[in-house]
Structure 1
Amino acid sequence: MAEIVNLRMARKAKARAADKAQADANRAQHGRTKTERKATEAEAARLTRTVEGARRETDD
């Protein structure tokens, strides 16, 4: 036989899991030191410069 599932409890468990995932993402984004944030920004800027510098010009 199939397992009986209480839909109200299943819905609440799903909502709790989604809230936990959002909280983890927020902790990863906002729970960093100023030095870590600056390093991430510098890395992103370096990658952007590298990609832009490697672009080929087209004659349209």
Structure 2
Amino acid sequence: MLEPEVFANLIGRIERGEVVPLVAETYPLRDIAAAQRAFGEKGYIGKIVLALD
């Protein structure tokens, strides 16, 4: 269990651009099935993102 301020500090670092998530692939929401397949294959490093355009 982490101290409560750890999460707040992390959010602050993300907002300042000091911590940036690694995005493996971005899919439009209409391609959610393809995103789910990619997620299930586990052949990626980073995050799979659904774009809500």
Q: TM-score, normalised by structure 1?
A: 0.26
Q: Which has the higher contact order (CA 8 A, sep 6+)?
A: 2
Q: Which has the higher strand share?
A: 2
Larger Cα-atom Rg? 1
Q: What TM-score results when the alignment is normalised by the length of structure 2? A: 0.29
Q: Which structure carries more helix by proportion? A: 1
